[in-house]
Amino acid sequence: MTDAYSGRCGGDQPCQSFEEPESELLMSLSTAVPAIGAAFAASLVEFVEAFTIVLAVATLNGWRPTAMGALSATLLLGLAVLALGPLLSLVPPQPLQLTVGILLLLFGMAWLRKAILRSAGIVPLHDEDAIFAAERAQLVSEEARRTTSRNWIAGIAAFKAVLLEGLEVVFIVIAVGAGRGLLAWASLGALVAFIAVLVAGVILYRPLSRVPENALKFGVGVMLTSFGVFWTGEGLGIGWPGQDLVLPAFVALFLATGLVMASWLRQAIHPEAR
């Protein structure tokens, strides 16, 4: 018989609890949720950019060669994730966390810097409609100069677009998920983003120009930088206060810093707007 107060079963034998402590659950969620969010938001941005180019190619040369090129690149990227995932499990955790942390820190700060400059009006916002028109014009010019098959040009253009944008997705998914065995969760975030862009693109059949790309890039930069600081500290053996629960604090810190810097730069460039 179980004693609810002593925690013992049948005399002096301790009971084994199968319920995960609430604190451990919170710490797991505090790491998993930002990982999924970062992978989803970053993948959404990259997939939107890839879809714009693929759509421009398809409207000019048809969907069959374009789809073949895009599908080939997607399969290649999927194989890269499947191959690198098991290999990373062979690397000792601390050196892996340090390496991934530094890379994420550099990558995240680059995204955050560009998002701050765009938010301040120093760098123009990403315009999917303009990119769509430019890609079509470039393809028309390329077809006029070459005697190569139009289908071949379309397939190569779609392959390059998906591969180049997808490489960033693969890096973010692996980097965000490798530190704590969250590769499956990060991959799920990227997969949901891919499906969302594909469905929206098929329904609208036009560039997804209404997606708030800069806001997403701002958020991705914040999350990647936060993960970078967290993993770098873990790799250096730093014991963070609250362990995984410190990650949301990093997100809030970098978000506030980025918003303040964007506002300050905007006022410095346009003092009449004060």
d(CA 42, CA 215): 11
Residues 6 or more apart from 102 whose CB is under 8 A from it?
228, 232
pLDDT class of 2 with cuts at 50, 70, 90: very low
d(CA 33, CA 27): 10
Bridge partner list, 258:
none
Q: How many CB atoms lie within 10 A of CB 57?
A: 28
Cα separation, 170 vs 33, in Å, equals 18
- 3-state DSSP call for residue 8? strand
Whether the per-residue pLDDT at 81 is higher than 60: the answer is: yes
Rounded Cα gap, residues 216 and 222, in angstroms: 10
Q: Which residue has the higher pLDDT, 25 or 65?
A: 65
Provide the pLDDT for residue 145.
58
Is residue 34 within 8 Å of 226, Cβ to Cβ?
yes
90 pLDDT tier (thresholds 50, 70, 90)? confident
pLDDT, residue 139, reads 67
Is the pTM above the cut of 0.75?
no
Element (H, E) at 226: helix 213-235
27 pLDDT higher than 60: no
Distance CA 74, CA 85 (A): 17
Comparing 29 with 32, which gets the higher pLDDT? 32
